[in-house]
Structure 1
Amino acid sequence: MNSLQLYRKAQQVKAKSEARDMLGLAQELGILVEFSDDYKDLLGMYYSHWHHRFIFLNSRLDDDWLPMVVAHEIGHDQLHRKLAESGLQEFELFRMNNRTEYEANAFASHLLLDSDEVYRRVREGEDIDTISKCMHCNINLMLIKMREMASLGYDLRLTDTADSHFFKNIRA
């Protein structure tokens, strides 16, 4: 999918929802969410089989990571359901050289981050780290959002790239 298709799909999902949080959105979409204390490196995983859809989450995710991981998994639900029949593991959430993971990340960035607010903050001179902290998201997801915004025609010149190995160092 291209940037415009990903943006439109995320906006379509948001428009149908009354939920204010990603767990509520997953529930509205009919996705069962399960938490587990047993995951060491796994942050989350989406699985679909026989019309049953699941998101499995590490119970140690904090308040900033939880919505990012859930939004990413919702991205897999909306974009890659057929691929998920064997399970999609999420210890490489910000992997940039895998198209499926990138699309789920871009979708998540559109679900979680308001383009106009990001653009306003950039125009006011805030740096990417400050914007990320203020909007409670990881800097890599913010970089993906800004890359997508540039593809959508926003006047943004990006000098940083997301760290493709970043998620391997995260421990919930």
Structure 2
Amino acid sequence: MDSLKLYQAAQQVKPAAGHDMLTLAKDLGICVEFADDYKHLLGMYFNKWHHRFIFLNSRLDEDWLPMVLAHEIGHDQLHRELAKTGLQEFELFRMNNRTEYEANAFAAHLLLDSDEVYHYVRAGEDVASISQRMHTNINLMLIKMREMVSLGYDLRLTDTADSHFFKNVRA
């Protein structure tokens, strides 16, 4: 799926105000369940018999929860058919898998406003400070900026997202 279609898909479901991903999931008809027994799993999407679920690690903090949930909502909106065979564990920020990249880009478009990101870049802020200001992981910000370049924004990226960083996240 190209960048414009990913952006449009996120805009179709984007909440009018705020980034309350739990409310968005509910509004989309997705049941969100939290589990205490996940050691390394951050989130998982499941779709069976017309019932859609997102299972989340209950130890996700206030910064990670919206990112993981937006990523899983991306799978619901973009890859629902892939999850019909049962539990499907997707890996956040895995860049060498097209399905994962698309869910990451969807999450970036859902959570990060392009005009706000562009404003900070044009003001001379670096990726790390913009990420901190917008309460997001630097890798998700880099994905957002890469997508913005594909959408025609005048940005010059010198960094790339770490495709393995989510393996080091422990909730």
Q: TM-score, normalised by structure 1?
A: 0.96
Helix, strand or coil for the counterpart of 2:14? helix
Following superposition of structure 1 onto structure 2, how do residues 60-79 of structure 1 map, counting pairs within 5 Å? 60-79=59-78
> Structure 1, residues 22-43: CA drift from partner, whole Å, max 9, x if none?
0000000000000000000000
1-structure distance, mates of 2:13, 2:98: 21
1-structure distance, mates of 2:17, 2:23: 8
Per-residue deviation, 1:19 = 6.9
- Sort the Cα spacing of 1:19 and 1:117 in 2 relative to 1 into closer, same or farther, 3 A: closer
Contact 1:48 1:54 in 2 (8 A): yes
Structure 2, unaligned stretches of length 5 or more?
none
Contact 2:93 2:139 in 1 (8 A): yes
1-structure distance, mates of 2:80, 2:87: 10
Name the counterpart of 1:100: 99
Contact 1:19 1:25 in 2 (8 A): no
Contact 2:19 2:111 in 1 (8 A): no
Per-residue deviation, 1:95 = 0.7
> Structure 1, residues 37-95: CA drift from partner, whole Å, max 9, x if none?
000000000000010000000000000000000000000000000101232214x3111
Helix, strand or coil for the counterpart of 1:94? coil
Matched, 1:170 2:169: yes
2-structure distance, mates of 1:163, 1:79: 23
2-structure distance, mates of 1:109, 1:153: 16
Structure 1, unaligned stretches of length 5 or more?
none
Name the counterpart of 2:4: 4
Q: CA-atom RMSD, angstroms? A: 1.2
- Sort the Cα spacing of 1:20 and 1:145 in 2 relative to 1 into closer, same or farther, 3 A: closer
2-structure distance, mates of 1:31, 1:166: 27
State the number of aligned residues: 170
Name the counterpart of 1:115: 114
Helix, strand or coil for the counterpart of 1:81? helix
